[in-house]
Amino acid sequence: MTLPGRACYARSVRTLLRIAASALVAACLFLAAAAGAAEGDLDLTMKSGAGFKGRITSHDATGFALKGADGEVRLKWADLDERSWLAAKRTVTDPKDGAALLALGAFAAEKGFRTDAEALLASAEKAAPALKGDVALHAPRIAELRRGEAEALLAKAKEHVGAKRWLQALGRYRDALALDPKSAKAQNGVGEAYFYMRKLPEARKAMEAAAALDPGFKDARLNLAFLELLELDFAACLKGLEEVIALPVDAGRAGTRPDLAKLAGQRKELTQEQAWEQLADSSAIQARDLEPFIREIVKGSGMKTEYRAVSEHYDLRTEVSQEYADLLVQRLEMIYAEYERRFGYSATGEQKTRGKGLRFPVLVFNDKKGYVEWFTRVLRNPQMGQMSGGVYVSMVKHLVFFRYEKIEDTQLVAWHEGFHQYLDYFIEGAPHWFNEGQAEYFGPSRIVEGKKRLEVGCTNPWRIGVIAQLLRTNRVPEAKWLMQTDAQTFMRVKTDPKYADKGTTVGDHYALGWALVHYCIEGEKGRWQKTFLNYFKLLCDGCSHEEAFERAWGRTSWAAFQSGFEAHCKWLVDRAQGEGLPK
């Protein structure tokens, strides 16, 4: 049975579909015709600044006729700017006229139009092989232009490095290398970008190529020493630093900090940053700065009696006992499995290789006294030891702490600082909220009774009281602000006027970082896990902090996020109360 009007409706629909299809075909044909008409159009600029678009329909020695959308106009060759003159001349030059192409190529080379010059000179030689010698005369100029473009790209890449835009830096260094394959600076830059992105085999290949191009290039040799350090080959690092120090200091520059201070004193108009840029042989100074620390590392732990435990991922040394060494290395492997479960290849697709099968070095002293003595001897910084209870010392890639009275406190420090050690092989200079927040997240993990696994995301007894206090006094800052805060603001080296009224301390920021990471991983039934992981992957892929934040979190409703974050903070406090911890 056919409903009234159904057949009429069906015929109408079919008719409309045919009309729509015809219109679509007509539109496609129109667009194709328009594209074809515009494909060969010239976009010309006159010396006066006026612009014209169209095709040349006729020409003579003094000018040409240009037909555009608004009709035809007569233009003079002499009135065109140089690039437009060249573009117009190319369209009317016989591709078989080698001499004419050579003349245009010579003009392009003289004016600095490198890509045009290369194309025209190649066409000239192809059209008239006898002109090969004449074409070759322009090779030095082409090489000069390539070097100039490469230097500009190197300067741009350096800006990207300064802003921690590793991926953009890599692109510019590669572009520079394509223009000047013999540039040790460009080759070294490629290696440096890979180093910051923690792609270490690729970094080594590029740095070694740079050193081969210029054996006296200190930047490449210093970077290779840094690479040996990141790959935990301390003896090789020390050798590399000694080789850099043995090279002659760059002419007119200072190779030591005292010499730099002396030169800078004679140039008082320079800022400290300008003095470093213009007067320092930076590689020589950095090598001299690091060499004494690495020399002490190579000498060993300094422990009178040393017990060692080696596992798949750790090389732990302690002066306590062999039993203690075995216990701690076992527990470090347990937390490593949790790091890897969340951030390893199976979870993220990120596979950062150290390039060598070396293990993370860990030093555990019997007490605070021995711990401080190590900082005094190795780093010449007793204050760092006195003010800390355990540190991953990124400068020498060692995790260092001491035995606390309770094993739970010792492992909290080990698991906290161990995350910094782990993350260092994925991201150079990770955002503080992300780095410290996760260290605080993993630190208070608990061993599940009777099982060889951990429960992570537990209450942090060192931070929960701070969260409760911030809630009571209404001083919880915006999560978005904390996530975008730089290292100096996070550590309260400087203050952000926007949040001066909140009066937050560095301790508050650590606690807030813990709560924020906890919310991103576990809050709202894991709603933010995917975004959080994507943020990590973007950082791994070389995005700057700002770009990674915008790409991962840019579409977030921050009012809703803030409400959820503060509610999660209250939940953390309530949970701690339920566990019997003080509010």
Q: Which two tokens stand for residue 575?
A: 């949970």
Q: What is the mean pLDDT of residues 120-126?
A: 97
Q: For strands 360-365 and 314-318, give the pairing.
A: parallel
Structural contact between residues 142 and 170, judged by C-beta atoms closer than 8 angstroms? no
d(CA 50, CA 43): 11
Mean of pLDDT values over 67-82: 95
> Would the CA dihedral through 547, 549, 553, 556 be positive or negative?
negative
What does the alpha-carbon distance between residue 460 and residue 442 come to, in Å, rounded to a whole number?
A: 9
Q: From CA 398, how far away is CA 361, in angstroms rounded?
A: 5
Asked if the model's pLDDT at residue 9 lies above 50, the reply is: no
pLDDT surpasses 70 at 12? no
* Contact call for residues 523 and 515 (beta carbons, < 8 A): no
Position 10 confidence tier, pLDDT thresholds 50, 70, 90: very low
User: What is the H or E stretch that residue 351 is in?
Assistant: none
Token pair for 273: 């940053």
Region 234-258: mean pLDDT is 97
Stretch 537-564: mean pLDDT: 96
Residue 54's φ and ψ, nearest 5 degrees, are 155, -165
Spell out the domains of the chain, with CATH numbers in brackets: 47-80 (no CATH), 216-299 (no CATH), 301-422 (3.40.30.160), 427-583 (1.10.390)
How confident is the model at residue 32, as a pLDDT? 36
Query: Is the pLDDT score of 490 beyond 60?
Result: yes
Q: Which of 45-59, 360-374, 445-459 has the lowest mean pLDDT?
A: 445-459
Q: Is the four-CA dihedral 550, 554, 558, 564 of positive or negative sign? A: negative
Taking residue 48's Cβ as centre, other Cβ atoms within 10 Å add up to: 8
Q: Residue 391: its pLDDT value, please?
A: 97
pLDDT at 22 over 90: no
Instruction: Grade residue 228 by pLDDT with cuts at 50, 70 and 90.
Output: very high
Mean pLDDT, rounded, for 378-390 = 96
Q: Which two tokens stand for residue 134?
A: 């004449």
Q: Which amino acid is at 465?
A: G
pLDDT tens digits along 260-314: 999 999 999 999 999 999 999 999 999 999 999 999 999 999 999 999 999 999 9
Confidence band for 494, pLDDT divided at 50, 70 and 90: confident
pLDDT value at position 30? 34
Indicate the pLDDT class of residue 345, thresholds 50, 70 and 90.
Answer: low
pTM of the model: 0.85
Through-space distance between the first and last CA atoms of the chain, rounded to whole angstroms? 75
Least confident span in 181-185, 189-193, 342-346, 558-562: 342-346
CA dihedral for 462, 466, 471, 472, sign (positive or negative):
positive
Whole-angstrom Cα distance, residue 481 to residue 578?
31
Contact between 419 and 394 under an 8 Å Cβ cutoff? The reply is: no
pLDDT of residue 501: 54
DSSP per-residue codes, 12-37? HHHHHHHHHHHHHHHHHHHHHHHHHH
pLDDT at 251: 94
* Residue among 518, 489, 515, 517 at smallest CA distance from 504: 489
At 398, phi and psi to the nearest 5? -115, 140
Give the CB-side neighbour count of residue 57, counting CA atoms within 13 A: 10
Strand locations in 29-162 (E): 42-45, 51-59, 63-68, 71-76
pLDDT at 450: 72
Predicted local confidence at residue 21, as pLDDT: 43
Res 14 pLDDT > 70? no
pLDDT of residue 520: 97
Please provide the average confidence, as pLDDT, over all residues in the chain: 90
Share of the chain above pLDDT 70, in %: 90
> Residue range 548-556: average pLDDT?
97
Between the alpha carbon of residue 220 and those of residues 21, 152, 256, 285, the distances in Å are 63, 20, 19, 14
365: pLDDT strictly greater than 70: yes
The H-assigned helical ranges of 269-395 are 272-279, 282-299, 322-343, 345-348, 368-374, 382-386
* Alpha-carbon span 426 to 540, nearest angstrom: 6
Residue 121 has pLDDT above 90, yes or no: yes
Q: What CA–CA distance (Å, rounded) separates 577 from 481? A: 28
pLDDT band at 493 (very low <50, low <70, confident <90, very high): confident
Q: What are phi and psi of 474, to 5 degrees?
A: 55, 45
pLDDT band at 230 (very low <50, low <70, confident <90, very high): very high
Of 571, 556, 572, give the one whose Cα is nearest residue 479: 556
pLDDT(27) > 80? no
Helix locations, 218-281, DSSP H: 218-230, 234-246, 257-265, 272-279
Which pair of structure tokens corresponds to residue 260? 């730099």
Q: What is the predicted pLDDT for the residue at 212?
A: 97
pLDDT value for 495: 74
Rg (CA), the chain: 33
| Residue 267, CB-side half-sphere exposure with 13 Å CA sphere | 18
> Quick one: pLDDT at residue 449?
80
The 3-state secondary structure of 385-450, one letter per residue? HHCCCEEEECCCCEEEEECCCCHHHHHHHHHHHHHHHHHCCCCCCCCHHHHHHHHHHHCCCEECCC
> If we measure between CA atoms, which residue out of 419, 411, 410, 402 comes closest to residue 447?
411
Query: In this predicted model, what pLDDT tens digit does every residue of 460-479 receive, in sequence order?
Result: 999 999 999 999 999 999 99
- pLDDT, tens digit (0-9, with 9 covering 90-100), for 409-426: 999 999 999 999 999 999
CA distances from 436 to 230, 416, 483 (A): 21, 8, 12
Q: Return the beta strands (E) in 488-548 as ranges.
A: none
Report DSSP letters for 443-503, one per residue. TT-EEPTTSS-EE-S---TTTHHHHHHHHHTT----HHHHHH--HHHHTTSS--GGGGGG-
Give per-residue pLDDT as tens, 507-549: 999 999 999 999 999 999 999 999 999 999 999 999 999 999 9
pLDDT for the residue 129: 97
What span, in angstroms and rounded, lies between the C-alpha atoms of 240 and 246? 10
Confidence of residue 358 (pLDDT cuts 50, 70, 90): confident
